[in-house]
Structure 1
Amino acid sequence: MSVAGVGEFGLIDRVTARLGAGPACLVGPGDDAAVVAAPDSRVVASTDVLVEGRHFRRDWGGAVDLGHRAAAANLADIAAMGATPTALLVALCLPPGLEPGWAEQLADGLAAEAAKVGASVVGGDMSASPTLTVAVTALGDLGGRAPVLRSGARPGDVLALAGRVGYAAAGCTVLSRGFRTPKLLVEAYRRPEVPYPAGPHAARLGATAMIDVSDGLLADLGHVARASGVGIDVHRDAFEVPRQMRDAAQALGVDPYTWLLAGGDDHALAATFPPAVALPAPWRPIGVVTEGGVVTEGGGAAGGGVTVDGERYDGPAGWDHFR
């Protein structure tokens, strides 16, 4: 059976039957629009799209995995603003010959990842398309706090990281070479482990700037540096190379620091804090904010004045859709 055989509304019924309702969902799927509670009176919103062949391959992971990845990419953006995620809206563009069970499993992954933060899928849309595409919009609540922007970093601030970087990029490289191990790296690519609570926690601690590391640590820190008009120096020795990553790098002829410094899709959170703030776990210092660096568009990793151990980093900075 295919999604064409089930039909649009039959497939919607199958998918929505697998979705729970979080506490912020007042009206869920089934009406013209959802109704989501906004106790703060402000709504944080972010959207992201995953296109088959560009962002994922079905032979590299199952539909449940993709559901986790698609939800995580958006929920992490909400957390990076210092907010708590409340709801997801999902639009699916599906090849007519796709099995309906694939869409159901995708819904399972979306719902499971959203449930980690008490959010839920509250609505969306479906369409036929030759290219499988998953577009997700996330909503969040600031809880009375000011949003943590990219533009607030100040010279002397401590740069800190919550979560891991490099694991998903290493897993992607392993899969691209036709391997399925080490499991630690492959699973990191399929289902990122995002430190969602660290975002609101950072806001309460007084973080001056924050960003979700989705495209690569150096590339994303470049956004912070440009928005804040500062330089950022990353300390290479702040990163430990796990054994599985070291072994995979040696086998594949890759410098593991390329994954750590420029690899995306782990959705760690990077933030800057005043130096007087005592950083509790999971936050750990990885660098420092400096006086304004040379601001350039494109080029090397420094792009916005980012250096590694005080030196310009000339390797790849991270992901760019149009390069």
Structure 2
Amino acid sequence: MEIIQKYSSLAAPAMDDAGKAGRNAAAAPLDAAGEGMGAAGKTRFEATRDWHDALAKRRDAHLAVRNQVEKALGRAAGGVDDRHLGALCESLAGAALSQRLDQPREQAARGELANLSSRNIRSGENPADDLADAWKILADAIEASENGDLNDQATALDRYTKLYQSLSDILAKLGTWVRADDDNYMRVDFGSLKSALQNLLNEYRNPTQDQVIAGAPSGGITEKEAKAICDRLKLDPGQCCHRNTDGTYCVIPDMSQVEKMIEALPSGGNNEKISIASYNAWKAGFDSQMSRVEDALQTRGQRYSNCYSRFENFYKTVSAIIDSMANMARQCLQF
């Protein structure tokens, strides 16, 4: 919060934890202050209002995701809580929609505001325009902001959630593929289990856009770009950089645990007779692989939450600066 400390003489009233005070308070003072200032000041304040409003909408969408992450993947859940995964996916879809609808407006206003603020114009048209230091601080805040990282983390979380759900659906069928035979043996349809796992693996070897974290299944990104994204999102490039048939690349979830599940399956097809001891030994290894998939999902949830916290701090910083600037402008107009 270095910017806030540097701007302590203009500190705004404390906002609530949700950070909504900035969104609600910024627009009205900006509109009121803008009525009494010159063309340069109005342009900057209008750009500020547009950018902050678009930023606030994206922030609200991701707040809904963060809340669902806590329910589905947080400490209170004690692991992955399947009951809340559907709601998590819905909130992630909402964040993705916000990205498509609000981020272009946010980026356009952000660029215009950064350009206007960096000029440090002291027009002299009106005392309210004489806020060059404040505009410079706002420009510094914009320059320090993250660009797209929260959206990328949300996409990665969404893809890993869907992968986990697909595996959970397969596991739910395991009960229909296992039957008692006699006191010491069981009958298991390993062929059906292998087919289900192999079909899932094949889907990610030929991914659709809904399974891709970054890039595209066709006309995607370069290998260098894919590796850079893996590095930024803390993904294994050896497992997650996928080469498309056209020679481009995309980034997909790590499927190595699914591959190991398939490799560890006993040989044979359906209705295989296996001792209970052998079945329990196989099942323990299978469950261990599934636990690693669960751990990967929880890790993605934690990375998303950490990224959201940084975004939230940035949003509160900007809201406080904007609110203080509007108060300054309003006070200047009273002279």
TM-score range normalised by the length of the shorter chain: under 0.3
Greater C-alpha Rg: 2
Greater percentage in helix: 2
